[in-house]
A and B are shown apart, each in its own frame.
Chain A
Amino acid sequence: MLNRRGLLQALVLAAVSSNTGRLMAETAASGKPHRRLPWRNWSGSQQCLPAARLAPASVEELQELLSTGTGVVRPVGAGHSFTPLVPTDGTIVSLSRLSGLVDHDPKTLQAKLWAGSRLGDLGQPLEEVGQALVNMPDIDEQALAGCLATATHGTGAGIGCMSTFIEGLQLIDARGQLHDCDRQQNTELFEAARVSLGVLGIITQVRLQNVAPYRLRRETVWREFDEILAIADSEADKHRNFEFYYVPFSGMGFTDAHDISDEPISSTEKIDGNEGARDLQLARDMLSWFPRLRELVLGSYMKTLSDEVTVENSWKNYASERNVRFNEMEYHLPRENGLPALREIRRELETRHPEVFFPIEVRYVQADDIWLSPFYQRDCCSIAVHRFFEEDYKPYFRAIEPIFRKYGGRPHWGKLNTLQQSDFRKLYPRWDDFAAVRRELDPQGRFLNPYLAGLFSATAGQS
């Protein structure tokens, strides 16, 4: 066992070294005193060599930066987006020094937060003032601004994406001018800015509608794939938060349901997930040549696994640390299309992609009215597929994306997709309204890197 793990670690180290060689050589050659560092996203799939990386310490500093500077400026959070929202050879601006709680209202249970706050850093201070986020994603490393810019979501058929919690926000446009907007003032900007990809300006503060602190009971149950499909819709309606995973080539998956509870904090035994990822990869390597045996072995064992229950304060019971990096594609489908699409995805995956070992993740999100929200005016079933970050994701994602699109999916703004401006204009009824607001706030396109220029430049359409 130890030998096997040692071998795996050696292989991983070797792979990392080979992948990073080129940029390391470039940067090493540039000399230590003035070394210009490349920027990469979380998975390493996006990279650039920016002229500057800045972290203003105040709104005034940020205004100065925007009003006096030239060239492209892109805001960066935690780098958790897989799409090329950040890369630029201009300036990358981090709001990491603008983080934390600004103020709060105990009557309305609203809190004003710096947009650079990490989600995982908000639970404790909010609890201390008698508040909690309505919902959270299953990763909490992201910056708040990044979550909101990309319509990041948790799961819950009766709960919207994170951006639906916004009651007001402050934004600095390309000329360095401050704009405040909420449901009553600057309503057009408010509708556009709640999900805005960082192309309207840099959002510095947001006022969120929260709830009183609550405790969640999270229950994980292993089930056969067909059973999951049979109960998924009713379970999604029954539980506050419900999601499920399907494990490729096993016939098995697990459901994960959260409900508010007043039970004492407790947890059943857990397994080391990071080691597990490596081991699943190894199982893939050993058995991908014989899918039926793979399913027999994996499925048989999973049927013996115990259910798992964790009771914890809400902000400690949504997210998991992800030390195993991956690339991801996620589409939000009309809810009624989710399960039929999943059946097709499984068929495609298990017919043509034995290389895949990451589970498929399925979540539910309530409809909203935000112009660029993928959940605009429709309840959704969100389906995500993953590949280990050191392996080529393109063949698998290229095969799955047509299924997502066939079923009317809209891609997560931060997750890999191949859609162009013309595709998005068809998917978003308010696309041109958003584009008009963008032109007004940033007529010179300072917030447009090449990817975003492709989505919003006038030459590519009317955006």
Chain B
Amino acid sequence: MRFSRLLIFAASSAVLVLLHGCGEGPAAPAAAQAHSRTLQPQDKAIAAIYQRSCASCHTVAATGAPLTGDLPTWAPRMGKGMNTLVDNVVNGFGGMPPFGLCMDCDVAQFEALINFMATGE
């Protein structure tokens, strides 16, 4: 009985992936999402990249991406080390495609973007 319920759940939810993608994730942490949308990098060039390449996912909880300025979520990620995080951006990680959405960013820019999103500063 338990086995069949598992399969039933699997069938139903999996088929719907092509319809719904990630648009309806778990209940959004509304406060963290609202906070993320108030933050901007101080550096103008980095801010421009952030706005066109990062904000569309990292300020929307339903995408599953860690929210900008959500320090508890970022802490274990930062614990992996900056090189690992940059590698994850370059190679793609989970739902994030390779290079995020910045095809021209260099390592220093990726590091600046990650630092900003992880700290909110």
Interface string of A29-53 (1 = CB under 8 A from B): 0001001011111101000000001
Chain A residues near B94: list those with CB within 8 A: 12, 16, 323
Smallest Cβ-Cβ distance to A138: which chain B residue: B18
Smallest Cβ-Cβ distance to B60: which chain A residue: A321
* A297–B53 alpha-carbon span in the complex (Å): 42
Smallest Cβ-Cβ distance to A94: which chain B residue: B103
Smallest Cβ-Cβ distance to A100: which chain B residue: B52
A289 touches B (CB below 8 Å): no
Chain B residues near A39: list those with CB within 8 A: 98-99, 103
Interface residues on A, range: 35 or more
Instruction: Indicate if the CB atoms of B90 and A38 lie closer than 8 Å.
Output: yes
Smallest Cβ-Cβ distance to A384: which chain B residue: B18
- Choose one: A42, A286, A321; the contact of B23 (CB below 8 Å): A321
Interface string of A42-74 (1 = CB under 8 A from B): 101000000001110000000000000000000
A183 touches B (CB below 8 Å): no
Instruction: Indicate if the CB atoms of B104 and A53 lie closer than 8 Å.
Output: yes
* A274–B13 alpha-carbon span in the complex (Å): 8
Chain A residues near B56: list those with CB within 8 A: 120-121
- Choose one: B4, B7, B20; the contact of A273 (CB below 8 Å): B20
Instruction: Indicate if the CB atoms of B103 and A280 lie closer than 8 Å.
Output: no
A206 touches B (CB below 8 Å): no
Instruction: Indicate if the CB atoms of B15 and A323 lie closer than 8 Å.
Output: no
Instruction: Indicate if the CB atoms of A37 and B14 lie closer than 8 Å.
Output: no
Smallest Cβ-Cβ distance to A285: which chain B residue: B10
Contact flag A16-B93 (CB < 8 Å), given A220-B19, A302-B15: yes
> Interface on chain A toward B: helix, strand, loop, or mixed SS?
mixed
B80 nearest CB across to chain A (Å): 11
Instruction: Indicate if the CB atoms of A283 and B102 lie closer than 8 Å.
Output: no
Instruction: Indicate if the CB atoms of B20 and A271 lie closer than 8 Å.
Output: yes
B29 touches A (CB below 8 Å): no
A247 touches B (CB below 8 Å): yes
B95 touches A (CB below 8 Å): yes
B73 touches A (CB below 8 Å): no
B79 touches A (CB below 8 Å): no
Instruction: Indicate if the CB atoms of B53 and A79 lie closer than 8 Å.
Output: no
Instruction: Indicate if the CB atoms of A27 and B97 lie closer than 8 Å.
Output: no
Instruction: Indicate if the CB atoms of B91 and A42 lie closer than 8 Å.
Output: no
Instruction: List B residues 70-105 near A (Cβ within 8 Å).
Output: 83, 87, 90-95, 97-99, 101-105
Instruction: Indicate if the CB atoms of B7 and A298 lie closer than 8 Å.
Output: yes
* A265–B105 alpha-carbon span in the complex (Å): 39
Instruction: List B residues 1-28 near A (Cβ within 8 Å).
Output: 4, 6-26
Smallest Cβ-Cβ distance to A92: which chain B residue: B103
B90 nearest CB across to chain A (Å): 5
A20 touches B (CB below 8 Å): yes
B41 touches A (CB below 8 Å): no
> Interface on chain B toward A: helix, strand, loop, or mixed SS?
helix
* A254–B63 alpha-carbon span in the complex (Å): 24
B121 touches A (CB below 8 Å): no
- Choose one: B6, B12, B25, B53; the contact of A274 (CB below 8 Å): B25
Instruction: Indicate if the CB atoms of A322 and B103 lie closer than 8 Å.
Output: no
Chain A residues near B7: list those with CB within 8 A: 283, 286-287, 297-298, 301
Chain A residues near B93: list those with CB within 8 A: 16
Interface string of A268-292 (1 = CB under 8 A from B): 0011111111111111001100000
Instruction: List A residues 288-315 near B (Cβ within 8 Å).
Output: 297-298, 300-302, 305, 308
* A274–B26 alpha-carbon span in the complex (Å): 11
Chain B residues near A286: list those with CB within 8 A: 7
Give the interface centre of B11, B25, B92, B107 by most chain A CB atoms within 10 Å: B11
* A167–B40 alpha-carbon span in the complex (Å): 37
A2 nearest CB across to chain B (Å): 12
Stretch from A156-164, A230-238, A354-362, A441-449 that touches the partner: A354-362
Instruction: Indicate if the CB atoms of B13 and A96 lie closer than 8 Å.
Output: no
* A99–B51 alpha-carbon span in the complex (Å): 12
Contact flag A40-B23 (CB < 8 Å), given A28-B83, A276-B17, A301-B12: no
Instruction: Indicate if the CB atoms of B21 and A54 lie closer than 8 Å.
Output: no
Contact flag A302-B22 (CB < 8 Å), given A53-B103, A280-B17: no
Smallest Cβ-Cβ distance to B49: which chain A residue: A96
Instruction: Indicate if the CB atoms of B104 and A96 lie closer than 8 Å.
Output: yes
B79 nearest CB across to chain A (Å): 15
* A27–B87 alpha-carbon span in the complex (Å): 9
Chain B residues near A44: list those with CB within 8 A: 91-92, 98
Instruction: Indicate if the CB atoms of B104 and A40 lie closer than 8 Å.
Output: no
Chain B residues near A361: list those with CB within 8 A: 18
B120 touches A (CB below 8 Å): no
Chain B residues near A271: list those with CB within 8 A: 12-13, 16, 20, 24
Chain A residues near B18: list those with CB within 8 A: 138, 245, 273, 320, 358-359, 361
16 pairs across A/B with beta carbons < 8 Å? A12-B94, A16-B92, A24-B91, A53-B103, A78-B97, A94-B103, A96-B52, A270-B16, A271-B16, A272-B20, A272-B24, A274-B95, A283-B14, A305-B12, A321-B62, A323-B94
